[in-house]
Structure 1
Amino acid sequence: MKSDAHILIVDDDKGIRDLLQEFFQKRGLHTTVAADGIEMEAVLRRTPVDLIILDVMLPGKSGLELCREIRANYTTPIIMLTAVTETTDRVVGLEMGADDYVPKPFDPRELLARIRAVLRRNGSAEPRRPTARQIYRFAGWTMDCARRRLTAPDDVRVELTMAEFNLLQTFVKSAQRVLTREQLIELSGGDTGYSFDRSVDILVSRLRRKMEDDPKTPKLILTVRSGGYQFLPETTSE
């Protein structure tokens, strides 16, 4: 993770904002705070940020609504904060594009570790040495793993969250194999970002919405009954 990463903390609890801002700044991170969606939007308009910490329970627009709006306009990673019992919020947030969840109450050290992991998966870590076979082609699509770019057959770039990209990369590298959910998480190196049961299903649903002509009748990522998923297209690599 780069030492000057800019973290935006969005939480209506001033105690949490102050605690996290002091904790992160002592560890070399640049931080900005916002108490609600209005302040958050003002920050995003004036300066780029590397990651957003977003509380679910906010005055005005909820964190879930803001997550959806952010994802419609930015690819900035989002870590959401929520009460440990709010499983529904976790699922909805992931479906809207959150990259990770941290339950309240939390240890700032754990949150910092999650931030580092998210930024590392998102490519905000130190540059990596290029490796062979970084570009994959399938069904007219081009996937550049080194640059973390996905280009559609009509030459339009499709924006993916880091978790979506990591899972798609796993599918592409294991094309035409049937993979269980557990295998997908393992082959992704845990980099789907999530650990509870529906995480892979949610990511597959999001990929289908972005890549399939008709997500209800997918031709790229197929569901295999009692098996998991299969990435169907033949894939070539460079």
Structure 2
Amino acid sequence: MQQVPEQETVSSRGRVEQFGYRMAVPTRLASADQAPPVQARQEGAAQPPTAVTMAVTADGPGYGPQDRLRATREWNYFELSWGAEFQHNPGLGINAGDGEVRQLIRWDQAFEVSHQGPPHAGFAGLQANVWHADRDVAGNVYGDRNAPGTHLEDAYYAAPACRQADMDQANGRYYRGHDLPAVESRYHGRWDFMLEALDVSNNPAMVVGQSGIKAFVF
């Protein structure tokens, strides 16, 4: 089992469409082949901002230093933890509640052939070698402030102490997440993970921050 060192490049300045999101600039990108991590696509004419408030990151999003692939005889476990902080200054139109974080995943063609499909049923019909928002087996995307609490079991918004009693799902500035995806050791390939911070006050949402890639070959 091998963890691939994180690789980063910095994108050119400009706005592009990604996942239906508009990207703020400058944006940090990461990829082993120097291509943008999310396949860019333009969808119609650019739209002006639709909100009177916006999300601004104060820190992150970023992964923890201890993240790793833990291999056993029967399973490969991907131990991931991450965090982000959003600014909150209503007087300046900056609202922490407009900020959300997504974990993205990309698996390669070798894994899809070995596994005879994507990682689980929530990704049914989605292609290999393309970034997708991480989700549960029912297809529910993690990190949505408006989602039921079960969606936040791996990623939640909280006050600085991060105690359950202090959680503020609607407007919390701090995002602390963890994930433990696993795949049976008889399957082989590569999984890449990346974080994006979004300003969801705009339509489409705007990417306001990205992490580097966590890449694992197994």
Give the TM-score category using the shorter length.
under 0.3
TM-score (structure 2 length as normaliser)? 0.23
- Asked which structure has the greater RCO (Cα within 8 Å, sep 6+), the reply is 2
- Compare the two structures and name the one with the higher helix fraction: 1
